Amino acid sequence: MARLFGTDGIRGIAGEYPLDEQTIFACGMALVRVLGRPLRVLLGRDTRESGPWIERLLVAGVRAAGGDVVSAGIFTTPGIAYLVLAHAELDAGVVISASHNPYPDNGIKVFSARGMKLDDEQEVAIEREIAALAHDPDVEARCREVPVAPEELLSPESERFAAEYLHFVRERAMGTSESRPLAGWRVGFDGAHGAAYRLGPRLLEELGAQVEAVGVAPDGRNINHHCGSLYPETVRRVVQERGCDVGLAVDGDADRVVFVSREGEILDGDDLLYILATHLQERGRLRGNVVVGTEMTNFGLEQALARRGIALVRTKVGDRYVLEQLLERGASLGGEPSGHLILPEISPIGDALLTALIVLNVMRETGRDLAELRRGFTRYPQHLVNVRVREKPPLETIPGFLHALAEARAQLGERGRVLVRYSGTEPVARVMVEAESEHLVREVAVTLAEVIRRHLGAPDAGSSGQ
């Protein structure tokens, strides 16, 4: 049986398997059968045009199996996870989102009553139920007769949910009795036309900041389009043109954030890890003097942390693997270069708004800007090439790949590293190379990517480096 759950839930092109009508309806039923009835689910979604009809089918499936759903409407992924954990009457959370992906994609993320992603056993059990239900003629007939209209689903409690979540973020991040701790600040905010397009500006304004917002006019198709955390140049223009003290950009479901300094320097998750790790260490709150990163974490960060006596532990790419190591080691900070940071003492998943406020509070407490806070971390040149592929066979079976990889590692020696992996959420092979020489990293990355493209490239295969 093929896996439906990837590193971030079920994901695909809306309208195509596994996000076709019958599979979505079956997924709703499967959640109840596996997680137990009576199941009360809190549901949120981002701003994609496919969100309402996916929501309608999923809700119908849950109800058909004896469960119930409360809809928070457009809501961030970490917000749903927090609310499920905070409310004993809720048994699970579901978010309809494809995070940072373009609008044709969508996905289904599921959280347990503890506000955490499901474990592998639960995911496999749900997949088995979906497989059994998806070919049931009765299920096919019922999903075509779904009567629930999208506008009927929004809970009258949705505003209370928003206020409660924003209060949690503020209290845990700022730690101050001041009513407007960001008064006098001008903050650039890019909401990616996504789930935080209202919550983000509202939170910052309630804290006293003057917000210069972009990416806050979703039309169903512009989510993540040349905006948000994947395109920090957008908020950088805002910072520079409107004289902001700082800028931040979130992605479509607001589980990741990147910053821009007042000078226009872009700070990703590695920069934020360094800032928070050193801040926590100085206050004796970095447990075990350990930070958890991933295979993609810049080698320069590992060196910078080591100079301060902080060990970097690497995991596979994916927030679930970062969280596993954080819990196993009792560590207090981990994250990914994408801006997906986890502070498990506060939340078990990455939360862009929470991370943003914590970083802003470090700036406020220390009186130092981002450039000062990241001093001591020198990034190694890194080049990433994304190759769209038509299939994902084991890398070692690609003709010529192992030979090319050995040659690449010989070229880099001790001066760099290379990582090749498939994306867990897209039909993409990623080739990442780091070294002291920018020319060398590009040469090695392009050579390796070409080997993959030659044998696996999709018809429209292209590449992008970042």
pLDDT digits (tens, 9 = 90+) for 114-151: 999 999 999 999 999 999 998 888 888 888 787 655 55
Query: Per-residue pLDDT for 157 more than 60?
Result: yes
Distances in Å between the Cα of 396 and the Cα atoms of 104, 386, 405, 451 are 32, 18, 10, 12
267-373 against 382-456: fold identical: no
Mean pLDDT value across residues 40-62: 96
Band of residue 1 on the pLDDT scale cut at 50, 70, 90: low
Q: Is 99 a catalytic residue?
A: yes
Band of residue 245 on the pLDDT scale cut at 50, 70, 90: very high
Residue type, 349: I
- Residues 89-106: tens digit of each pLDDT: 999 999 999 999 999 999
- Using the 8-state DSSP alphabet, how is residue 435 labeled? E
State in words which class domain 267-373 has: alpha beta
Which candidate, 418, 400, 401, places its Cα nearest to that of 409? 418
Angle of helix 77-86 relative to helix 158-174, nearest 10 degrees, comes to 90
Peptide bond preceding 393 in cis form (omega within 30 of 0): no
Mean pLDDT value across residues 281-296: 96
Mean pLDDT value across residues 231-235: 98
Residue 2 has what pLDDT? 74
Domains of the chain, residue spans = 5-155, 161-265, 267-373, 382-456
Strand 246-250 relative to strand 186-190: parallel, antiparallel, unpaired?
parallel
Around Cβ 194, how many Cβ atoms within 10 Å? 32
Residue 416 has what pLDDT? 86
Looking at 3.30.310.10, 3.40.120.10, 3.40.190.10, 2.40.70.10, the CATH number of the domain 5-155 comes to 3.40.120.10
Q: What percent of the chain has pLDDT over 70?
A: 97
Which token pair is 124? Answer: 């496999």
With residue 167 as reference, give the H or E element that holds it. Answer: helix 158-174
Distances in Å between the Cα of 161 and the Cα atoms of 73, 75, 91 are 10, 9, 16
Which candidate, 299, 373, 286, 290, places its Cα nearest to that of 337? 299
Distances in Å between the Cα of 289 and the Cα atoms of 70, 316, 332, 334, 335 are 41, 20, 9, 12, 15
Residue 463 has what pLDDT? 45
CATH code, residues 161-265: 3.40.120.10
Query: Per-residue pLDDT for 213 more than 60?
Result: yes
Query: Per-residue pLDDT for 335 more than 50?
Result: yes
Residue 159 has what pLDDT? 94
CB 118 within 8 A of CB 31: no
CATH code, residues 382-456: 3.30.310.50
Q: Which SS3 state, helix, strand or coil, does residue 51 take?
A: helix
Residue 464 has what pLDDT? 46
- Between these two residues, 352 and 457, which has the higher pLDDT value? 352
Q: Which SS3 state, helix, strand or coil, does residue 64 take?
A: helix
Mean pLDDT value across residues 444-462: 87
Catalytic residue, from 50, 71, 97, 99: name it. Answer: 99
With residue 58 as reference, give the H or E element that holds it. Answer: helix 51-64
Query: Per-residue pLDDT for 194 more than 60?
Result: yes
Walk across the sheet containing 105-111 and list its strands: 5-6, 9-13, 105-111, 92-96, 40-45, 68-74
Residue 149 has what pLDDT? 58
| Rounded distance between C-alpha atoms, residue 312 and residue 368, angstroms | 25
Mean pLDDT of the chain: 94
Walk across the sheet containing 334-335 and list its strands: 311-315, 290-294, 334-335, 341-342
Alpha helices in 182-341 (DSSP H): 199-206, 232-242, 269-282, 299-306, 319-329
Query: Per-residue pLDDT for 466 more than 50?
Result: no
Q: Which SS3 state, helix, strand or coil, does residue 314 take?
A: strand
Which candidate, 139, 437, 81, places its Cα nearest to that of 255? 81
Which token pair is 158? Answer: 């949705």
- Between these two residues, 309 and 152, which has the higher pLDDT value? 309
Residue 459 has what pLDDT? 73
| Rounded distance between C-alpha atoms, residue 230 and residue 106, angstroms | 17
Query: Per-residue pLDDT for 398 more than 50?
Result: yes
- Between these two residues, 464 and 236, which has the higher pLDDT value? 236
Q: What percent of the chain has pLDDT over 90?
A: 86
| Rounded distance between C-alpha atoms, residue 460 and residue 463, angstroms | 10
